[in-house]
Structure 1
Amino acid sequence: MRLLVLGRSGQVARELERLGNDGHEIRLVGRDEADLSQPEAAADVVRQLVDEVHAQAIINAAAWTAVDAAETQEAEALAVNGIAPDLVAQIAAEAGLPFVHISTDYVFDGAGETPFAPDAPTAPLGAYGRTKRAGEEAVAKAANPAGWAVLRTSWVFSAHGANFVKTMLRLGAERDVLRVVADQIGGPTPAEAIARACVTIAETLAAEPAKSGIHHFSGAPDTSWAGFASEIMTQAGLPCRIEDIPTAAYPTPAPRPLNSRLDCHSLQSAFGLTRPDWRDGLARVLTELKATP
């Protein structure tokens, strides 16, 4: 499948690029070509590329992900997370191409302990979540007859860029004890699994656009950040001990949801995708990092 992918340096985009080895034609669009902080100009580039590469689907793997910075730069975050996806969703609809847009658990308020279903009421706690919700609403409003999907995911990790796994490995090698939040619960998700899910969704929508909608995809089993950190230390063979702390002991400019559990049943029903075991994904990431000079 010929895929036009927005985002080049992000974790999921990097994994999508690798899928070119699986027979897919992946055209990544980086900020140097289409800067989503300038949505109108970026949309012009995307419209041109759709024709140039004869795209069969569009995947938006680009986003403003600086959660804390969004609190003081919401307009800038909205341009990338809300306005740009709106314009690209319209382009996809006009071109008759399926559109897959990646979103986040931060659109929820994190209340309770029950996994959030795709149709659960949203109530973002901060600016980042608000801008991502705006993007979701725009993609749904475009009502692309060729098929569309908003894929909410959580706690993304890989061997690329900056993420929790790489931070824990660095700190775990330097310290004997790390204090990590234990009352935020969610599903760590390998970027590789998200990339493959996006392609499966795009391929399915091309044949069955009626499966359009909002879906959830996160790793299993659910755990805390402290639990995630402990597994990282164990698999990496680091002696660093993880000490549980509450969220209140680690204040941040933007509030974090305590409950990031996602109900992923609709994705399995519609696309046959099951939750990946993040521990297996972690093992692969650690292997890759060890092999990287």
Structure 2
Amino acid sequence: MKVLITGSNGQLGSEIKALASEYTNFEFVYSDLPELDICKKNLLTQFVIENNIKGIVNCAAYTAVDKAEKDGVLAELVNAKAVENLVAVAENQHLKLIHISTDYVFDGTSHIPYSEKMPVSPLGVYGKTKRAGELQVIYSASNSILIRTSWLYSIYGNNFVKTMLRLGAERESLGVICDQVGTPTYARDLAQACLEILSKSERLDTQGKVYHFSNEGAASWYDFAKSIMIMGEVDCQVNPIESKDYPTPAARPHYSVLNKSKIKADFGIQIPYWGDSLCDCIDILKTEKFEE
């Protein structure tokens, strides 16, 4: 089975590449800009047909949360219009589709982990465009799955873990937000979950189904940063600050922990604790040099 990985140069796509050799039942085809622009439906359709694609994992997204407030047109194009194209191709060519979304579709007013049935209410342009993309999947007739995740990091690309390690080595102290709580998620764990679901989804009716996946547990950005410094053996003082003392163009949910009961029940997926996965990631970063 040939599977197209869109946005393959990003964190999640790169982690899927790293795990690909473990899934010999799939032949992976990797794409990113400029080779394939999924915002152009005709080009996407042609690519899928010519390469005999039978499944797609969409890792492509516009994720610059603050920049999206002024760059809404591009965010809408990548996060919604491109997803509309992928859904249409999946329907017409009878493909499997896994699309990745975000905890930022929630407004953060809950005090219990968000289940898939709880109402969404995104606060900023990024969350609103991701929600628009979600609706394309939810109301499609394709064999498609939507997976929401949160606070993604990896050994690849730009992310909070690598930024903290770099800044921690440069500065004596850092202030980090303590009143926004979610779950750090190792992109490798999400990649493995996507590949496991792809392997098992033939046995399930997955049309437009929504699932949540993050690592287990919860933390504030401050907790996350403290753990990064400790595990990375970086001598930098991390100080807690409130959101009001660090204003950003886009509002963030104050609480966005995800309930993972559904994905564990349907697919039998084992999910690691966030601290254990962070330790694994930092161990790799200590021994191998990855460029930001």
Q: TM-score, normalised by structure 2?
A: 0.94
Aligned-partner residue type, residue 261 of structure 1: V
Aligned-partner residue type, residue 80 of structure 2: G
Partner of 2:103 in structure 1? 105
CA contact 2:36–2:43 (8 Å) conserved in 1: yes
Partner of 2:117 in structure 1? 119
Partner of 2:278 in structure 1? 282
Deviates more, 1:217-226 or 1:50-59: 50-59
Residues in 2 aligned to 1:212 and 1:85: alpha-carbon distance in whole angstroms: 13
Question: Secondary structure at 2:194's aligned position in 1?
Answer: helix
Aligned-partner residue type, residue 9 of structure 1: N
Q: CA RMSD in A?
A: 1.4
Question: Secondary structure at 1:50's aligned position in 2?
Answer: helix
Per-residue displacement from partner, 1:124-179 (whole Å, max 9, x unpaired)?
000000000000001111121xx211100000000111100001001111122211
Per-residue displacement from partner, 1:176-215 (whole Å, max 9, x unpaired)?
2211101111110000011111112222222322475111
Question: Secondary structure at 2:158's aligned position in 1?
Answer: coil
Q: 1:255 aligns with which of 251, 256, 260?
A: 251
Question: Secondary structure at 2:176's aligned position in 1?
Answer: strand
Partner of 1:238 in structure 2? 234
Q: 2:31 aligns with which of 14, 20, 29?
A: 29
The change in CA–CA distance for 1:159 and 1:68 in structure 2 (over 3 A counts) is same
Deviates more, 1:25-34 or 1:221-230: 25-34
Residues in 1 aligned to 2:172 and 2:152: alpha-carbon distance in whole angstroms: 26
Residues in 1 aligned to 2:208 and 2:120: alpha-carbon distance in whole angstroms: 19
Shift of 1:81: 0.2
Question: Secondary structure at 1:282's aligned position in 2?
Answer: helix
Residues in 1 aligned to 2:4 and 2:89: alpha-carbon distance in whole angstroms: 12
Q: TM-score, normalised by structure 1?
A: 0.94
Deviates more, 1:13-22 or 1:132-141: 13-22
Partner of 1:138 in structure 2? 136
CA contact 1:205–1:212 (8 Å) conserved in 2: no
Residues in 2 aligned to 1:207 and 1:175: alpha-carbon distance in whole angstroms: 52
Query: Does residue 169 in structure 1 map to residue 165 in structure 2?
Result: yes
Residues in 2 aligned to 1:113 and 1:280: alpha-carbon distance in whole angstroms: 24
Partner of 1:3 in structure 2? 3
How many residues align? The count is: 287
Question: Secondary structure at 1:118's aligned position in 2?
Answer: coil
CA contact 2:145–2:206 (8 Å) conserved in 1: no
Partner of 1:155 in structure 2? 151
Per-residue displacement from partner, 1:102-121 (whole Å, max 9, x unpaired)?
00000010113111111111
Partner of 1:63 in structure 2? 61
Identity of aligned residues (%): 39
Residues in 2 aligned to 1:195 and 1:71: alpha-carbon distance in whole angstroms: 29
CA contact 1:215–1:266 (8 Å) conserved in 2: yes
Residues in 2 aligned to 1:195 and 1:112: alpha-carbon distance in whole angstroms: 27
Partner of 2:15 in structure 1? 15
Question: Secondary structure at 2:139's aligned position in 1?
Answer: helix
